[in-house]
Structure 1
Amino acid sequence: MLLTADQLSWNVRSGAGNRYVSTPAMDRIAGRGVTFQRAYASDPVCAPQRTSWMTGRYGSETGTPFNGGRLHPDIADLGAVLREGGYSTFHAGKWHVDGRPAATSFDVIFGGQREIAAGGAEIHDATIARTTAGFLASGALPEPFYLQAHFVNPHDVCEYLHRFESRNMPDLVAQEIVAEAELPPLPDNFDFDIAQETVAQIAARRVPGCYIHDGIRAAVAGWSELDWRTYIWRYYRYVEDVDRNIGLVLDALESSGVADDTILIFTADHGESCASHHMFQKFTLYDESARVPFVVSSLGSVALPRAGEVEDGVLVSAVDLFSTICDYAGVARPAGTHGMSLRGSVDSAGTAGREWAYMEVNFLGRGIVDSRFKYITEYVPEPERAALPPNGQRNVQGREQLYDLLQDPGETVNLAYDPQHSGIVVRMRQRLRETEARMSQRPLGDPGAIATAAEWSRQTLEQWRALVPRDAK
C-alpha cells in the first residue's frame, strides 16, 4: 500500500522536531517503520515525479520532463507490471501521469483524472480518505492487492499563492487570527546570493517573464518578512489537513484484518521551498524542494525489525520506489528501469545502498547528491532546438554549483569554482555523465510538449547570453 502527499518537505513533521506543525498520522507511520532521512525526488515537479514513480525511470526517459508531457506508450507502468504478477491494483486520488489514464492499469476507486492535479484538496482529500477507508473496510479485499492513495495537500499552498497575485497577503497578526510568536521563523537560508545559481534556475524563477507562475514571482518580490512567515504558517495548516485524512486511512487499515500482511510506504512527490533561498513552491534541486519523506512501515501486530528507526546512512532516489514495491510483491521489474530495492535496509542496518542519487528538473537542470556533496549543473540551450537530452550539447556544462551538505546544509556557499574543491567537481560531473549514459533518454513525442520545451529553451538562451556567456565550460 502506497500513501503519498503532494509538495511535502522531508522535515515537516512534528515527530521529527518541527514544533510549528502537528502530524500525528505521519508520526504514527514513522513510529512503526523505517524513516529514510536522505530521500530525494528524481524530479521535483508533479507530473515528472509521478511518472517516475509509476515507471521506475527518469523524466527525460518517459516523455514527461515537465507538467504537460506525454508518457511514451511503450513504457509499462507499475499497475500493469503488478497485474501481470497476479495483483489486483487500485488507485485513489491524484494521478497526473500525463498521457496515460489511471484506468489503463488500475481499478480507480476515486479520481485519477488530470483535473484533480492541482487545487481543491479541501474537497478531494476528504473524498480520497473516505473512499480508501471504505475500500479497506469492505470485507471483500482481493488477495493479493496493491492500493495507492495519492492525496493533494499540502499542494493547495500553490492556490493560496495564486490568490494573492494581484492583492496583498492578509495580515493575520493584525486580524488577531494568529499571534506573531506563533508564526514560523524565516529559514536560515532565506537571504541568498542568487548569482550563485544556474542560468536556467534564474530564468525559471527569478526574472520577469519566467517560464511559469510569473504573476506569483512578481507578487512575492514585494513581500515583507511577515508575509513570508505567514506563507509558511499557511503551508503548515495544509500539512495538518492532509495528516488528518491520512489518519482516517490508517485507522481503516488497522481495522481491516489485512494489516498484518500489508507493507505501507509513505512518501511525497517533492517538497516546498518555504522561503528558503527566497523561493516559493518547488522546481529547484535544493533540499527543501527535492528532498522528501520516505518511510517503509507496517501497522500489523508484528513490528518490522527496525520499527521506529531513522536511517540516515542510506541514500534514496524516488526511482527506488518502483523497485522496492516490486521486491515486496515478488514481481520482476521490467528491463530499462532504474532504482534499488530498500527491503534489505528495512530489515537490517548497514545494508549497502547507492553511492549517489541523480536528479533533474524541467529538463534543463540536473544534479548528483552523494553522502556529503550536492552538484548541480545545466545544459547550455541550443538556439534552434529544444535543449532536451540527448542532444549535441550533452557534455557542454553551463554554470555549476557544489554544496557541502555537512558543513552547509542550507546550500548557501557555492564551492564549484573553489580550486580546493576542483577534484570533487570533476568526480561529481563524471558521476552525472555516467548516470546519463545508462539512461534511455528520448526526444519528446507530444507536439505541445515540444513547443513548450522550445519556448523555455529560447527564454533560457536569452538569459544565458545576457548574464554569463563566459561561464560556459
Structure 2
Amino acid sequence: MPAIKNILFIMADQLRADYLSCYGHPHIQTPAMDALAARGVRYDHAYVQAPICGPSRMSFYTGRYVASHGSTYNGVPLRVGEPTMGDHLRPLGLRTALVGKTHMAADAEGIRRLGLDTASEAAIFAAQCGFEPFERDDGLWPDRPGSYDIAYNDYLRAQGYEGDNPWHTAANSVRGDDGEVLSGWEMRHAGRPAIVAEEHSETAYMTDRAMDFIDAAGDQPWCLHLSYIKPHWPYIAPAPYHDMYGPDDVIPANRDASERDDPHPVYAAFMGHEESGNFAREEVRRTVIPAYMGLIRQFDDHIGRLFAFLEDRGLAQHTMIVVTSDHGDYLGDHWLGEKQLFHEESARVPLIVYDPRPEADATRGTVDSALVEAIDLVPTFVEAAGGTVPGHILEGRSLVGRLHGETGPWRDAVFSELDFGFRKARLDVGTEPWASRGVMLRTERWKYIEYGDLPPQLFDLETDPQERTDLGRSDDHAAIRADLHERLFRWLRDRRMRITTSDAEVEARTDRHKAAGIPYGVW
C-alpha cells in the first residue's frame, strides 16, 4: 500500500479520556475531536506507560517501556543512545519536528562523555528527544530564573504584555477585583479569565506555530509533534472559555468513603498530599473543573482550526492524524489530585487515529476496545511511513493492521509504571528511593498493582469498574493475584534489552562460529 506522506501527532497534557464528548462526557462538547473520531478510529482502552509527564512521554517517543528506557520520573534524563521517534522516521525521509512540550531532560553528562559539540545536529537531537525543536516550550515555572527564555514570552512582550515572565503574569494569571495580578497557581482563582487575550494564549500561539512549520516544510514529508501544555495546570482559561462551563456541569466525583478505610500504604500517602486534600473539597472541584473543561474546549476549537488549515492546503488526504494525552487528571476522584497512580482517571487516555488511505475506509467511525499502549504509536508511524518495524528495539505493536480492519491476535494485557521516589509519599511509606516503584498489569477484567515488598492491589473491573474496592489483601483472591504476579514477572523477562543487534542479524549468526573461523570445542 502507499506510504503516508505526513504525520500530525497531537498531544494535550493532562487530558482525561472521559472529558471528551465522543468519550461520553455529558456536558463538554468537543466537535473537532468528535469529527476526527468519525473519520478515524477511537480507541476506548488506551493506556500510558507511566501516568506522569516525563516518563510517559519518553515511552511515547521511544516506543519502549519505562523499565527499558530508564527515564522513570520528571527530570530524569533519557540516556544518550536510546533511539527515538525521530531516529526511526528521519531515515524514511520525514522531517521530524516539535512544537510545544516534551518534558525531556537531556543526558548532559552522556553528551559530554561522548565529546559531542552541543551545537551539532547530533547533540541537538540527543538533547531534544530526537525532534527538531521548531519551537519547544515546556511552560512550567512561575518564578525561576533561566526558565523565562522562551519564544512565547518574547511573543507576549511584543503584544504589549510586560514583565520578565508574562507566561506566568499574563497567560497564567488573572486580575482581582481591584485590578491586582493574582497567580493562577492558586486554584481559588480558576474561575476568573486569564489576563492574556484568547488569541494570544498558549493554545492559540502553539497552533499558529504548527501552521508556520507546515508552511515552512513545503512539499517535504514531515512528522510534526504538536504538544499542547493545556489543560495541564495552572487551571487558568482565557475568556470566553473561563466561564463557558459552570459548577452545575461538574460531574460527581468517583469516590466512596470506604476507600479511606485502611487503604493501601502508597494510596494513603498520596491521599495525604496537599493537592489531594484540596481536591477532596467540593468547593475546589466546583471552581477548578469548569476551567479545566473550558481549556479542553479551547484545545478542541484550535485543533479544529488546524484541521481546516490542512484541508485548505490540500494536506488532509496525505496526513495521518493522532490525538492523545500523556496522562489524565484525578480532579478529586478517589480522594486524589493530580495523577501518578493507576486508576482509570490517571492511566487511561484518549486516543483517536485517522489514517487517510482507502485501506482504512472499513474502520472509519468505529470504536476499538482492544487494549492499546502509548508505545504502539512509534511502530504505527514507522509502518505507515513505509518502514520496517525494528522489533528488537520497539516494544509496542503497530496499529496499522487494526486501522485497516485486520482482526488477528492482539495483546491481552497492558502495563504502566510509577517511580514515587521523588514524592513525599516515599517518606510516608518509608521506602528507599530505588525501591519506591510500582507497576500495573491490566487485563480485560483485572487490574493488578505491585509495590515491591508492600502488599499488592487488585481490582475486579467487571464487578467494580469504578475501582473502589481493593482486593489486594482478600484471601478469596489469592490465586488470582498469584497468577497475575507470574504474568507480571514474565513481562519483565520479555523486555527488549539487545537494541544494537537486530533479530535478523542474530538469525544470520546462529551456529556460524566455525564459518567465522572459530572452531572451538573440536576434538
Find the residue that maps to 1:294 and give its secondary structure: strand
Given the alignment, which residue of 193, 214, 233 partners 1:136?
214
Could you tell me how far 1:376 is from its partner in structure 2? 1.2
Tell me the distance in 1 between the aligned counterparts of 2:22 and 2:129.
38
Find the residue that maps to 1:319 and give its secondary structure: helix
Given the alignment, which residue of 78, 83, 101 partners 1:71?
78
Could you tell me how far 1:115 is from its partner in structure 2? 5.5
Contact 1:98 1:114 (8 Å CA) reproduced: no
Give the paired residue count: 398
Q: Which residue does the alignment assign to 2:190?
A: none
Contact 2:139 2:229 (8 Å CA) reproduced: no
Give 2:46's aligned amino acid. A
Find the residue that maps to 1:151 and give its secondary structure: strand
Percent sequence identity over aligned pairs: 28
Aligned runs of 1:52-451 on 2, under 5 Å?
Answer: 52-99=59-106, 103=128, 105-112=130-137, 123-137=201-215, 140-143=218-221, 145-156=222-233, 158=234, 180=247, 182-189=248-255, 191-195=257-261, 197-203=263-269, 205-207=270-272, 214=274, 216-220=275-279, 223=281, 225-298=282-355, 304-312=361-369, 314-334=370-390, 335-348=392-405, 350-362=407-419, 364-380=437-453, 398-439=454-495
Find the residue that maps to 1:293 and give its secondary structure: strand
Q: Which residue does the alignment assign to 1:5?
A: 12
Give 1:423's aligned amino acid. A
Contact 2:13 2:231 (8 Å CA) reproduced: yes
Contact 2:48 2:327 (8 Å CA) reproduced: yes
Q: Which has the larger radius of gyration?
A: 2
Contact 2:277 2:335 (8 Å CA) reproduced: no
Could you tell me how far 1:367 is from its partner in structure 2? 0.8
Q: 1:115 to 1:206 in 2, by over 3 A?
A: closer
Tell me the distance in 2 between the aligned counterparts of 1:372 and 1:249.
38
Q: Can you list the C-alpha shifts for 1:113-141, whole angstroms capped at 9, x where unaligned?
A: 57689985873321110111233345813
Return 5+ residue gaps in structure 2 as ranges: 1-7, 108-123, 142-146, 148-166, 173-197, 237-242, 421-436, 499-523
Tell me the distance in 1 between the aligned counterparts of 2:137 and 2:217.
24
Tell me the distance in 2 between the aligned counterparts of 1:185 and 1:154.
17
Tell me the distance in 1 between the aligned counterparts of 2:402 and 2:88.
24
Could you tell me how far 1:441 is from its partner in structure 2? 8.2
Q: Which residue does the alignment assign to 2:513?
A: none
Q: Can you list the C-alpha shifts for 1:338-384, whole angstroms capped at 9, x where unaligned?
A: 1111111111163322110011112611110011111112023xxxx
Q: 1:273 to 1:434 in 2, by over 3 A?
A: same
Tell me the distance in 2 between the aligned counterparts of 1:344 and 1:177.
40
Could you tell me how far 1:188 is from its partner in structure 2? 3.7
Tell me the distance in 1 between the aligned counterparts of 2:254 and 2:133.
43
Could you tell me how far 1:333 is from its partner in structure 2? 3.9
Could you tell me how far 1:301 is from its partner in structure 2? 8.9
TM-score by length of 1: 0.77
Tell me the distance in 1 between the aligned counterparts of 2:48 and 2:244.
35
Contact 2:104 2:129 (8 Å CA) reproduced: no
Q: Can you list the C-alpha shifts for 1:42-75, whole angstroms capped at 9, x where unaligned?
A: 1010000111111111223323211110101111
The answer on 1:34 being equivalent to 2:41 is yes
Tell me the distance in 2 between the aligned counterparts of 1:367 and 1:421.
17
Tell me the distance in 2 between the aligned counterparts of 1:431 and 1:291.
21
TM-score by length of 2: 0.70
Q: 1:84 to 1:114 in 2, by over 3 A?
A: farther
Return 5+ residue gaps in structure 1 as ranges: 161-175, 381-397, 443-473
Q: Can you list the C-alpha shifts for 1:382-403, whole angstroms capped at 9, x where unaligned?
A: xxxxxxxxxxxxxxxx221111
Find the residue that maps to 1:229 and give its secondary structure: helix
Tell me the distance in 2 between the aligned counterparts of 1:277 and 1:399.
19
Give 1:199's aligned amino acid. P
Give 1:151's aligned amino acid. Y
Structure 1 range deviating more: 13-22 or 62-71: 13-22
Give 1:185's aligned amino acid. I
Find the residue that maps to 1:304 and give its secondary structure: helix
Find the residue that maps to 2:99 and give its secondary structure: strand
Contact 1:133 1:248 (8 Å CA) reproduced: no
Q: Which residue does the alignment assign to 1:447?
A: none
Give 1:281's aligned amino acid. E
Contact 1:14 1:27 (8 Å CA) reproduced: yes
Could you tell me how far 1:19 is from its partner in structure 2? 2.3
Could you tell me how far 1:405 is from its partner in structure 2? 1.2
Q: Can you list the C-alpha shifts for 1:266-297, whole angstroms capped at 9, x where unaligned?
A: 11100111221011111110000000011111
Tell me the distance in 2 between the aligned counterparts of 1:345 and 1:338.
17
Give 1:7's aligned amino acid. Q
Structure 1 range deviating more: 338-347 or 54-63: 54-63
Q: 1:249 to 1:86 in 2, by over 3 A?
A: same
The CA RMSD measured in Å over matched residues stands at 2.9
Find the residue that maps to 1:254 and give its secondary structure: helix
Q: Can you list the C-alpha shifts for 1:211-255, whole angstroms capped at 9, x where unaligned?
A: xxx4x345446x2x2432333222211211211221121111222
Contact 1:53 1:321 (8 Å CA) reproduced: yes
Contact 2:11 2:324 (8 Å CA) reproduced: yes
Find the residue that maps to 2:309 and give its secondary structure: helix
